[in-house]
């Protein structure tokens, strides 16, 4: 009896390891020998040399956005993006390094182009919303077409076997088979 338990405790991790190996090989197939990225080209190595090895910055940005959404749930995307960019870029420190004349010119430009930025942002939002609505309409149309095709194929199958039957015909057929 104890021999069976020992055998099972040895076999169970082996089976789990084999299954895990299969899953990992499937997921990492492109990085393993004969995979697409096993020995990358020089230009790919050069291009990817500046890519950060972690996504800590993105995670921090998402944490900041999440906190802002909790504090101000009705904030617009543009205002949240502005706060995040200001937090990251520290423009006040940058502005302090400039002369008064340069600072005034930059602030005037910002005030001049601020309205244009907001208008462009709203236009972009409208375009995105329009694209979403168009895609949803296409999907709905495709769904309806698929549904109609299924109904047609089912009705063809029914007619292939003799058509639509009435309740009396079905009862008569059942009684004849009994």
List pLDDT tens digits, range 82-108: 888 888 888 888 888 889 999 899 889
Please indicate, yes or no, if residue 27 is contained in any of the structural domains.
no
Contact call for residues 63 and 56 (beta carbons, < 8 A) = no
Judgement on whether residues 138 and 103 belong to the same structural domain of the protein: yes
Judgement on whether residues 113 and 123 belong to the same structural domain of the protein: yes
More confident position, 55 or 3: 55
> What would the mean pLDDT of 142-169 be, rounded to a whole number?
80
Please indicate, yes or no, if residue 117 is contained in any of the structural domains.
yes
Judgement on whether residues 126 and 146 belong to the same structural domain of the protein: yes
Residue 106's H or E segment, with its range, is helix 100-160
Average pLDDT, the chain: 84
Please indicate, yes or no, if residue 172 is contained in any of the structural domains.
no
> Distance between CA atoms of 19 and 149, rounded to whole angstroms?
41
Judgement on whether residues 120 and 130 belong to the same structural domain of the protein: yes
Please indicate, yes or no, if residue 56 is contained in any of the structural domains.
no
Q: Above 90 in pLDDT, residue 136?
A: yes
Please indicate, yes or no, if residue 87 is contained in any of the structural domains.
yes
The pLDDT, as a whole number, for residue 170 is 67
The pLDDT, as a whole number, for residue 2 is 61
Domain boundary among 97, 120, 142: 97
Q: What is the pTM of this model?
A: 0.43
Please indicate, yes or no, if residue 16 is contained in any of the structural domains.
no
Please indicate, yes or no, if residue 84 is contained in any of the structural domains.
yes
Judgement on whether residues 89 and 139 belong to the same structural domain of the protein: no
Domain boundary among 97, 119, 144: 97
Please indicate, yes or no, if residue 133 is contained in any of the structural domains.
yes
> Distance between CA atoms of 134 and 138, rounded to whole angstroms?
6
Judgement on whether residues 117 and 149 belong to the same structural domain of the protein: yes
> Distance between CA atoms of 17 and 178, rounded to whole angstroms?
57
Judgement on whether residues 115 and 139 belong to the same structural domain of the protein: yes
Work out the pLDDT band at 121, boundaries 50, 70, 90: confident
3-state class (DSSP) for residue 12: helix
For the chain, how many structural domains are there in total?
2
For residue 71, give its domain range. Answer: 61-97
Judgement on whether residues 104 and 90 belong to the same structural domain of the protein: no
Judgement on whether residues 121 and 71 belong to the same structural domain of the protein: no
């Amino acid at each position: 009896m104890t021999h069976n338990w020992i055998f099972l405790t040895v076999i169970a991790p082996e089976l789990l390891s084999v299954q895990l190996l299969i899953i990992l090989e499937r997921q990492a197939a492109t990085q393993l020998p004969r995979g697409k990225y096993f020995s990358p080209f020089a230009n790919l190595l050069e291009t990817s040399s500046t890519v950060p090895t972690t996504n800590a910055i993105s995670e921090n940005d998402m944490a900041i956005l999440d906190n802002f959404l909790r504090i101000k749930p009705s904030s617009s995307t543009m205002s949240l993006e502005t706060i995040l960019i200001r937090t990251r870029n520290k423009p006040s420190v940058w502005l302090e390094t400039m002369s008064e004349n340069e600072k005034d010119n930059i602030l005037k430009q910002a005030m001049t182009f601020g309205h244009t930025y907001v208008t462009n942002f709203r236009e972009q939002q409208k375009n995105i919303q329009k694209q979403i609505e168009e895609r949803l309409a296409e999907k709905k149309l495709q769904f309806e077409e698929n549904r109609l095709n299924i109904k047609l194929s089912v009705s063809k199958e029914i007619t292939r076997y003799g058509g639509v039957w009435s309740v009396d015909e079905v009862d008569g057929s059942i009684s004849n088979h009994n």
